[in-house]
Structure 1
Amino acid sequence: MLENRTMIKVCGMTRREDVVYAVNIGVDALGFILAESPRQVNLDQVRELTYNLPPFIARVAVVVNPEPENVTEIEESGLFDYIQFHGSEEPKLLENTVLKSVKAISIAGKKDLAAVEKYKESADYLLFDTKIGSQTGGTGESFDWSLINELQLPYILAGGLGADNIEDALKKLNPLAVDINSQVENEPGKKNHHLLKKTVEKTRNFRPKSETKIKLKFI
Structure 2
Amino acid sequence: MKAKICGLTAREDVAAAVELGYDCLGFILAPSPRRVSLHQARALLEDRPKTPTVAVVVDPAPSELEAIVSSGLFDYVQFHGSEGPETVGSVPSMSIKAFGICGPEDLERALSFQAADLLLLDGPRGGGGRRFDWSMLKGLRIDRPWMLAGGLGLDNLEEGMSLGPDWVDLNSGLEVSPGVKDRAKMAAAMEMVEGFNRRKELRHE
Query: If the TM-score is normalised by the length of the shorter chain, which range does it land in?
Result: over 0.9
Q: 2: CA distance between counterparts of 1:62 and 1:140?
A: 15
Q: 1:117 deviation in Å?
A: 4.6
Equivalent position of 2:5 in the other structure: 10
CA distance in 2, matches of 1:14, 1:140: 17
Are 2:78 and 2:95, in contact at CA under 8 Å, matched by a contact in 1?
yes
Which residue pairs with 1:155 in the alignment? Answer: 146
Alpha-carbon distance between aligned partners in 2 of 1:115 and 1:39, rounded to the nearest angstrom: 28
User: CA shift at 1:31, angstroms?
Assistant: 0.4
| Deviation at residue 148 of structure 1 after TM alignment | 2.4
Aligned AA for 1:127? L
Q: 1-side partners of 2:85 and 2:111: how far apart?
A: 11
Q: Distance in 1 between matches of 2:99 and 2:173?
A: 19
Q: Counterparts of 2:48 and 2:71 in 1: how far apart (Å)?
A: 15
For the 8 Å contact 1:86–1:104, the answer to whether it is kept is yes
RMSD in angstroms over aligned alpha carbons?
Answer: 1.7
Deviation for aligned residue 1:159: 0.8
Q: Is it true that 1:41 corresponds to 2:36 in the alignment? A: yes
Report the residue type matching 2:91 in the other structure.
Answer: T
Indicate conservation of the 8 Å contact 2:126/2:150, yes or no: no
Residue aligning to 1:169 = 160
Q: d(CA) in 2 for partners of 1:128 and 1:117?
A: 9
Code of the residue aligned with 1:69 in structure 2: it is: S
AA in 1 matched with 2:15: V
- Distance of 2:5 and 2:151 partners within structure 1: 12
Shift, 1:86, TM fit: 0.5
Q: Which amino acid aligns with 1:92?
A: E
> Secondary structure, in 3 states, of the residue corresponding to 2:176?
strand
| SS in structure 2 of the partner of residue 98 of structure 1 | coil
- Classify the secondary structure of the residue corresponding to 2:89: helix
Q: Is the Cα–Cα contact under 8 Å of residues 184 and 196 in structure 1 kept in the other structure?
A: yes
Q: How far off is 1:7 after superposition?
A: 0.6
Return 5+ residue gaps in structure 1 as ranges: 1-5, 214-219
CA gap 1:117/1:8 in 2 versus in 1, 3 angstroms: closer
* Residue ranges of structure 2 left out of the alignment (5+ in a row): none
- 1:44-123 to 2 correspondences below 5 Å: 44-55=39-50, 57-119=51-113, 121-123=114-116
**Distance in 2 (alpha carbons) for counterparts of 1:98 and 1:35:** 20
Which residue pairs with 1:216 in the alignment?
none
- Residues 117 and 22 of structure 1, relative CA distance in 2, 3 Å threshold: closer
CA distance in 2, matches of 1:37, 1:54: 24
Equivalenced residue count is 200
Aligned AA for 2:176?
N
Per the normalisation by structure 2, the TM-score is 0.92
Matched with 2:118 is: 125
CA shift, 1:95, in A, is: 1.0
Shift of 1:53: 2.8
Question: Aligned partners of 1:27 and 1:53: how far apart in 2?
Answer: 15
Q: Secondary structure at the match of 1:96?
A: coil
